[in-house]
Every structure is written in structure tokens, then in C-alpha cells.
């Protein structure tokens, strides 16, 4: 049945259509990822007692990651066949068992395909989540890397959109680190796409685009709108998590730009099934098996996958976001950017919205002065956690939002305050 479910037509999701993540089977249930100069390299797990991998002592770091196990089961009951007419057939013709089984397998494969798309979209941004929306790993936090984020000031008519695109392209080119690419693709939200094509600076692109045979003022060009070296595409995919909550694959007013034609940057690693017969074998994308009840009352249909998508160069995927007004760029602003990108002065963290559960990486500078409180004739000294965050990284923090710093979670208390230059948020945090 494993062969059958892997032969069934796939529910081609957008990343699967692009062919961005290459599947590679491994024989173990975990992988070791090594980071050196911003590149995550995969190392194989080995059996106990086997020869170990060797690395030099040149500032490298390693982490072991377990492959998430994703089982999904269904059952075929007599009621699924008895008295049920065949689809598209005569009313008195019974629905054959094989057709019922194929329909269930197809539906189960679709659920696994959507789960993989959700995991790969998040891995593209450096985060691994499961089907419940729980963050399993954050490659930026694990390896002390900072995500590159470029703000498109699309609310100002004078903004050089081409300049912003060049900034994205140069950021990707600077972080190839020996990798190759053929072009740059960007999956953006509907809000980002609408503001992009409505900006006065993009009107010239319509003329050139129309000369190639496309008619952007007549047809739907959301699937194919090249501008200044990046192919922008509106992606409105939404998934329903196992918690019944819905989540957009691309957050509102954001996008993600990434290179195509890479050799070894985007991979999805798959381990063997949790079966004796598959132990120490090379993993497949999906496994399926059936089990007939010993009394013939039902057939259990069981599927499972153990996959871990990895973006080995996390800084190659550049976060795009909309800024409605231009921020003043000054010597002070440039200095703040350098401070927040400095590994010794700022630290990686994760912001999680209290209302939508949306999350993305940010950079923070911790300021934790002791707070002195007068009480009668005495004084109390209490610990506080205060952090600074760039407005460009976190446009609209709210009380109740969660900031994850390492293994500790904190909640924003009180109203966030901006500095005089409107560049930095100061957030007062308390333990979650």
C-alpha cells in the first residue's frame, strides 16, 4: 500500500509546483545540522558505536534534530460499502471496496501534502512548525543567525521600488556563500501585491510587461508579474491546523523572496516508518498500510511520514514587509541598524501575536535595570526585563504579545514606547 499511496496523484501545492524543496531519504530518525559561516550542513546520524563525523574547531556549531513523526489513520467500515451506490454508476450498483479505499488514500495523501507545504513554507522562513502550529525548531535562534528583512515603503509615492528590489537581490547574492542560483522568486500576500502594483513607480513595468503579450490591465497577473529582477506572485494559501484554527501561509502585508535554481539549499529529509520492516532503510515521503480486523469487522488504514524541511542558508530567504510611511534615514538610523545586526550586541528572538498567533524572528537588545520601588520608609529592588526592538522588524507590537528569547517566553506588559526618531520600540516584559 505504501507504493500505491506514493503513486496516487499529488495535491500539488505551490512550493511543490516550483520544486523548491528536494526530498532526500535518510535511514535514521534524526539528523545533525552543522552551522558554519551561516550555512547549515546536514550530517548523517550513525548507529551507536559507529564512526563519528569530525569537524574542525573553527567556530562551528552542531545541533541534533529529531524528525517529526506525522501519523494519520482512517478506517473502512461495512457501512462505507453496504447500501452505498457507486459514484457515477447505477443507483443499485454497490460501491466497490477498492474505490472506497482509493478515495480514503487520496484524501489522506492530500492532508499529508498540505502538512508538508505548511512545514516547508515555515522552514523557508527559518522556522519548523507541526500541523498544530507549534514551533518545533527555529534555525535562526538555534544557530544565532539574524533574518534579513527589507521594508517596502509602498505608502509613499516617491519610494524607489526598484531600489528596494535591488536591496533584496543584493542581500540574496551576498549570502549565497558558494551556492548558485538562476533567478529570484517572491511569494507575497494579497495586501503586499495590491500595494505593489498600485504604486506609481510600477506603472512603467506594465508597459514592458504588456509588450511581451501579457495584458495586466485585463487579465489576472497575480501568478506572473516580473519586476526589476524578481518574479512577484500573490500567494493566498490558508491552512486549517489540527486545532481547527486557520493560518495564512504568507502573513498579511508580508512576503518572502528566495532564489531558484540552487543546488543544495532547500531539502526535506524523510526518515523510515515506525515499523520493524523499515528500520534502518532509506526513508520515503509517505508510508501507508492496512490491517484487517481479525473478525473481519473493519479495515484500518494507517499512514505516516517523518519529514524535516531544512533551509541550509536561512539568510537567503529575505522577509518582505510593507511600510506605509517612509522612515527617516539618518546617521543615527544607520548606526542603529549596525548595532541590531551585530552578533555581540543584539540577540535573536521570536515575536508571537496574541491575537492571530502569527510569528516571525526579530532582533532585540536586552536592557534589564533593577526597578526601585519606595514603600514607606523602605525601598524594594525588583528585577525587570526591558528590550529594544527595531520598528522595521516589529511594526506594531501590542500588550499581550509574546517574545520568546532562547528557551524563555515573555509577555509584553504596558504600552510599547517608541523613541524620538520613531526607529526603536522599548518593550517592558514579564515572564509568560
Q: What DSSP string runs through 8-38? A: SPP---HHHHHT-SEEEE-SSSEEEEEEETT
As a whole number of angstroms, the distance between CA 388 and CA 140 comes to 18
Half-sphere exposure of 152 (CA within 13 A, CB side): 28
- Which residues does the chain have with pLDDT short of 50? 8-10, 56-57, 327
Per-residue pLDDT reduced to its tens digit, 34-47:
766 656 666 665 56
Q: Locate cell 513554507: which residue?
A: 121
Predicted local confidence at residue 207, as pLDDT: 61
Pairing state of beta strands 183-188 and 230-234? parallel
Nearest to 43 by CA among 58, 56, 26, 59: 26
For 133-187, how does the pLDDT look when each residue is reduced to its tens digit (9 = 90+)?
889 988 888 878 888 999 998 878 788 899 999 999 999 999 998 899 999 999 9
pLDDT of residue 25: 95
Strand ranges in 252-384 using DSSP code E only, listed in sequence order:
254-260, 266-270, 287-292, 299-311, 318-322, 347-352, 359-367, 371-375, 378-382
pLDDT the model gives residue 327 = 47
**What whole-number distance in Å separates Cα of residue 353 and Cα of residue 397?**
8
User: How is residue 52 annotated by DSSP?
Assistant: P
Give the C-alpha separation, 120 to 109, whole Å: 16
**What does DSSP assign to residue 314?**
G
Q: Which residues, 6 or more positions from 174, have their beta carbon under 8 angstroms from its beta carbon?
A: none
Q: Over the stretch 355-394, which tens digit does the pLDDT of each residue have? A: 778 888 899 998 765 555 565 666 655 566 889 999 888 8
CA dist., res. 411 & res. 398, Å (int): 10
What pLDDT, on a 0 to 100 scale, did the predictor assign at position 234?
92
In the chain, the domains with their CATH numbers are 2-139+263-311 (3.15.30), 327-432 (2.40.10)
Q: In the prediction, which pLDDT does 54 show?
A: 61
Distance CA 317, CA 298 (A): 47
The pLDDT value recorded for residue 91 is 53
- Burial class, 414, CB count within 10 angstroms (exposed 0-12 / middle 13-18 / buried 19+): exposed
> Closest Cα partner for 371 from 301, 427, 428, 327?
428
Amino acid at each position: 500500500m505504501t507504493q500505491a499511496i506514493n503513486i496516487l496523484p499529488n495535491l500539488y501545492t505551490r512550493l511543490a509546483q516550483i520544486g523548491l524543496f528536494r526530498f532526500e531519504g535518510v535511514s535514521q530518525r534524526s539528523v545533525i545540522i552543522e552551522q558554519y559561516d551561516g550555512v547549515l550542513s546536514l550530517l548523517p546520524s550513525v548507529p551507536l558505536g559507529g564512526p563519528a563525523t569530525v569537524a574542525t574547531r573553527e567556530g562551528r556549531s552542531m545541533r541534533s534534530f529529531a524528525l517529526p513523526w506525522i501519523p494519520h489513520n482512517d478506517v473502512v467500515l461495512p457501512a462505507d460499502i453496504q447500501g452505498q451506490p457507486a459514484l457515477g454508476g447505477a443507483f443499485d450498483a454497490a460501491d466497490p471496496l477498492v474505490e472506497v479505499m482509493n478515495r480514503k488514500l487520496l484524501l489522506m495523501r492530500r492532508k499529508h501534502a498540505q502538512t508538508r507545504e505548511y512545514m516547508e513554507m515555515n522552514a523557508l522562513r527559518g522556522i519548523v512548525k507541526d500541523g498544530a502550529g507549534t514551533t518545533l525548531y527555529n534555525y535562526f535562534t538555534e544557530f544565532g543567525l539574524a533574518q534579513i528583512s527589507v521594508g517596502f515603503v509602498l505608502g509613499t509615492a516617491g519610494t524607489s521600488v526598484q531600489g528596494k528590489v535591488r536591496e533584496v537581490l543584493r542581500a540574496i547574492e551576498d549570502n549565497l556563500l558558494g551556492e548558485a542560483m538562476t533567478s529570484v522568486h517572491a511569494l507575497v500576500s494579497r495586501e503586499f501585491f495590491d500595494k505593489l502594483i498600485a504604486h506609481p513607480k510600477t506603472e512603467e513595468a506594465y508597459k514592458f510587461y504588456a509588450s511581451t503579450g501579457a495584458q495586466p490591465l485585463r487579465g489576472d497577473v497575480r501568478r506572473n508579474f516580473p519586476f526589476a529582477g524578481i518574479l512577484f506572485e500573490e500567494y493566498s494559501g490558508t491552512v486549517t491546523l489540527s486545532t481547527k484554527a486557520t493560518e495564512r501561509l504568507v502573513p498579511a502585508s508580508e512576503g518572502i523572496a528566495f532564489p531558484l535554481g540552487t543546488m543544495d539549499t532547500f531539502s526535506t529529509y524523510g526518515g523510515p516508518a515506525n515499523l520493524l520492516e523499515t528500520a534502518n532503510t532509506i526513508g520515503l515521503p509517505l508510508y501507508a498500510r492496512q490491517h484487517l480486523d481479525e473478525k473481519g469487522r473493519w479495515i484500518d488504514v494507517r499512514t505516516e511520514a517523518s519529514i524535516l524541511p531544512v533551509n541550509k542558508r536561512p539568510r537567503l530567504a529575505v522577509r518582505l514587509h510593507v511600510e506605509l510611511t517612509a522612515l527617516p534615514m539618518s546617521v543615527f538610523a544607520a548606526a542603529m541598524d549596525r548595532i541590531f545586526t551585530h552578533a555581540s550586541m543584539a540577540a535573536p528572538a521570536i515575536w508571537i501575536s496574541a491575537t492571530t498567533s502569527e510569528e516571525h524572528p526579530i532582533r532585540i537588545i536586552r536592557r534589564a535595570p533593577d526597578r526601585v520601588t519606595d514603600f514607606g520608609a523602605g525601598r524594594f529592588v525588583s528585577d525587570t526585563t526591558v528590550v529594544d526592538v527595531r520598528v522595521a522588524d516589529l511594526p506594531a507590537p501590542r500588550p499581550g504579545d509574546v517574545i520568546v528569547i532562547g528557551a524563555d517566553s515573555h509577555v509584553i506588559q504596558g504600552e510599547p514606547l517608541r523613541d524620538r526618531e520613531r526607529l526603536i520600540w522599548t518593550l517592558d516584559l514579564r515572564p509568560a
